[in-house]
Amino acid sequence: MEPNLLSEEMVLCLSSIYLKLAKQQSSMDWETSSNISHSTLSSKWSFTSKNTTSWNQSRDVTEEIELVDPYRIISKSIRKNVGPYQYYQEVTSNLLDYGKIPRAAPFLKKLMNLLERLRNVDLRGLAHHQKLSFWINIYNVCMMHAFLEHGIPDSPHKVVSLMGKAVINVGGHCLSALAIEHFILRLPSDFSHVEMKNKERTVERLMWGTYGLDWPEPLVNFALCCGSWSSPALRVYTAHEIENELEVARDEYLQAAVGVTPSKIFIPKLLDWYMRDFAKDAQSLVEWISDQLPSGVGYSLPKCLNIRHTSETIEVMPYDFNFRYLFALQP
């Protein structure tokens, strides 16, 4: 199986497992077989063209769907919607019912087959956009699989520890989620932030040299989902649409996670951690955010820019490591 298609299948399969184990009714309950076609499954995932509004503001948001404020930002903002995120399907630790494992058995069997294929995958000759979408999907697969294998951590420290234990075999090489993120998907300068033994560091550097991206892509910040409450929504990324998909992921995450008032802007910790990927200082960060938000949503940001000390107008929301997945599924 072609590497990109394999990575997409794995995200779809693991997502199906989580939704099967969830106690609440999900829009994927119509799945009765793990043999359902890739095209049918992937059509349920939400992506909107970057040239169109990312959600339908005329939609009756009270109709059949319970609204979600995934990052608890509405109470801190003058706006009362969070865009498409309010329709995405949420799976938290208290919703998982391991008694439903028999219900997910066909997908678990399929997952074992896909993991075996991944161990034998050949990544030679992939173009930049193919590597980008493949490794984003595989990082997300690695984390989802780790929660099934090791269980859900009950503390932030254990979540960070799990990221080191989350390991997946790709083409005969065992890679951790941390290695995929920092040695393949992020800038080489990030190497200094990853604590690894010298031998492991050498191996990961070699992997980066072999499979790393041709150039860095800051928008991966909005695509990597480690299963924490503060993570962006989980999506399936495809090689032929990766640029558009990453822009949609960015726009929708910012709309859901950024709060705006006439004198203050609330930003997620994710933006604070990786601010240098998008801006040189607080003022340019606010300008960048304003450019990404839909028309009307960021109208108060120019007032923030006129305040002398822009840094005083920014409040960083704390990162929440509690377990949660938001599935970017069309209702």
Given this model, what pLDDT does residue 313 score?
82
The size of the chain, in residues, is 331
Closest CA to 231 of 324, 111, 105: 324
Please report, for residues 84, 139, 194, 239, 274, the alpha-carbon distance to residue 244 in angstroms, rounded to integers and kept in the order given.
16, 19, 30, 10, 21
- Contact by Cβ (8 Å): 129, 239: yes
Given this model, what pLDDT does residue 327 score?
96
- Tokens linked to 56: 């339908």
Q: Can you name the residues that pair with 96 across neighbouring β-strands?
A: 22
What is the band of 197 on the pLDDT scale with cuts at 50, 70, 90? Answer: low
Strand order in the sheet with 265-268: 259-260, 265-268, 314-317
Q: pTM to 2 decimals? A: 0.84
Given this model, what pLDDT does residue 69 score?
86
What is the band of 216 on the pLDDT scale with cuts at 50, 70, 90? Answer: confident
- Contact by Cβ (8 Å): 323, 227: yes
Closest CA to 327 of 77, 91, 6: 91
Q: pLDDT tens-digit profile of 137-194?
A: 999 999 999 999 999 888 878 888 888 889 999 999 899 998 899 888 875 433 444 4
At residue 268, what are phi and psi to the nearest 5 degrees? -70, 155
What is the band of 131 on the pLDDT scale with cuts at 50, 70, 90? Answer: very high
Rounded mean pLDDT of 23-33? Answer: 50
Torsion, Cα of 50, 55, 57, 59 (10° steps): 140
User: How far is Cα 214 from Cα 314, in angstroms, rounded to an integer?
Assistant: 34
Give Cα 84 distance to the centre of its chain.
15
Given this model, what pLDDT does residue 211 score?
75
What is the band of 198 on the pLDDT scale with cuts at 50, 70, 90? Answer: low
- Contact by Cβ (8 Å): 80, 63: no
DSSP-H helix ranges across the chain:
3-21, 38-42, 101-119, 128-150, 156-165, 177-179, 198-211, 242-257, 269-273, 282-292, 301-306
- Contact by Cβ (8 Å): 38, 146: no
- Tokens linked to 31: 């799945």
Rounded mean pLDDT of 221-230? Answer: 96
Given this model, what pLDDT does residue 283 score?
84
Q: Quick one: what percent of the chain has pLDDT higher than 70?
A: 73
Tokens 């649409």 belong to residue: 241
